[in-house]
Each structure stands twice: as C-alpha cells, then as structure tokens.
Amino acid sequence: MNIVEISEEIYTYTSGYPFLVSAICKQIDEELDQDWTVNGVRQAVQVLVKEKHTLFDDLSKNLENNKELYDLIYDVLIIGRKRTFIIGNPTIELGVRYGYIKQSEQTIRVSNKIFEIITCNYFISKYKSLSPIQVKGVL
C-alpha cells in the first residue's frame, strides 16, 4: 500500500473533512476487499456519493431553507461566477460554518470535490423536476 499516494487521493476528494475521510476508508476496508489503491479510493467515492447520509441530507435541506446560500453556491458551482470571499457577509459565514464553502485566494469555492458532486446532483435533480414552463424561466 502506498500510503502517501492513497492519502493524497483521499484528500483530493475530501479536503480533510473528517466524516468523508472516515466514510471512504470504511468503504474501502469493509466493502471493497481492502483495495487500498487510488482506484479503490475512487470506487469508494462513487459508492459514497450514491448513498444516503445525514450530512448530504443536511446539505440539501440547508440549501432549500436558505435562498441566499442556495444562490451563492449555485453561482459559484454551476454558473462559474467568481464571488469574492468577504468576512462579515452572513451568507458566506453560514456556508463556511456548515463546511460547504471555503476561501481560495480571494474567491469562494465549494470546500471539497464530494460536496461539489453532491451539490451538482442536487441542482440537476431540482432542474429535472421543473415543468417545461418553469424551465423557460430558468433559462
């Protein structure tokens, strides 16, 4: 097992978020026949993002219940708009408190690749559930 290579791959997806690191390791150890390789990490991530977890449920609930946070993350992740990271902005502080966003130089970005995947899937499912009339309003 190449510990450095595997830990770097796990960090690539999680940015060190403790629950996500543990979930990937648990998946590899218990469900993927201890495939402690880069490929094993990628397979664990694929499984993880398809499973139901309270963390992911909370993410979608928090986006549903806070339009400003929803719009901020949508702008950054889907539209690709650069948004300045400003301390004191309540929406930015809420996103940081939840662990969904972080500062990258002077801009905002989603805190890790797994949250990017989960949030993109959430936005896609929201879009697919719109009626044709609602879709015209979105585009």
| Complete DSSP assignment for 50-74 | TS--HHHHHHHHHHHT-HHHHHHHH
Write down the pLDDT at residue 63: 97
Domain 54-127: CATH class, spelled out = mainly alpha
Does this model's pTM top 0.75? My answer is: yes
Question: Domains of the chain: which residue ranges?
Answer: 3-48, 54-127
The Cα–Cα gap between 99 and 117 comes to 15
pLDDT level of residue 1 (50, 70, 90 thresholds): confident
